[in-house]
Amino acid sequence: MSTPAPLILLVEDDVLLRDAFRILLEAEGYRVTVAGTVATALAVSANEPPALVLLDLGLPDLPGLELARRLKAGSATAEVPIVALTGRTGAEEERACFDAGCVHYVAKPIDPRKLLEQISDYLQ
């Protein structure tokens, strides 16, 4: 029996971006589950912890970094790598991402090829 493809939790409230990322990731063979809010992301990750989280920081219910902190505090998700995706740049923003437990910080606009390489590196 073959091992299922890694599951990526994509947390993005912009429907067009979310669909584009989902299509890109699925084309690479990843399983993808999506969420547009922190609440949905927590519920989804409780059902099946992802192998990796792609996290937009600007979410409608709570800041994305709050989700990162909550995932890092959970026993089933504490070791899951979180890659922050943000339109805000700067050393302070980057430091806040790492302080919340993110392993990488990617400023939008995002180069899809570079993002896929980074994802592959974290899932090995």
Q: What is the pLDDT of residue 1?
A: 66
- Distance of alpha carbon 89 from alpha carbon 93, whole angstroms: 6
The length of the chain in residues reads 124
pLDDT in tens, 27-72: 999 999 999 999 999 999 999 999 999 999 999 999 999 999 999 9
Tens digits of per-residue pLDDT, 65-108? 999 999 999 999 999 999 999 888 888 989 999 999 999 999 88
Helix (H, G, I), strand (E, B), or coil: what is residue 36?
Answer: coil
Report pLDDT for 111. Answer: 92
Residue type, 7: L
- Could you tell me the fold of the domain covering 7-122? Rossmann fold (3.40.50)
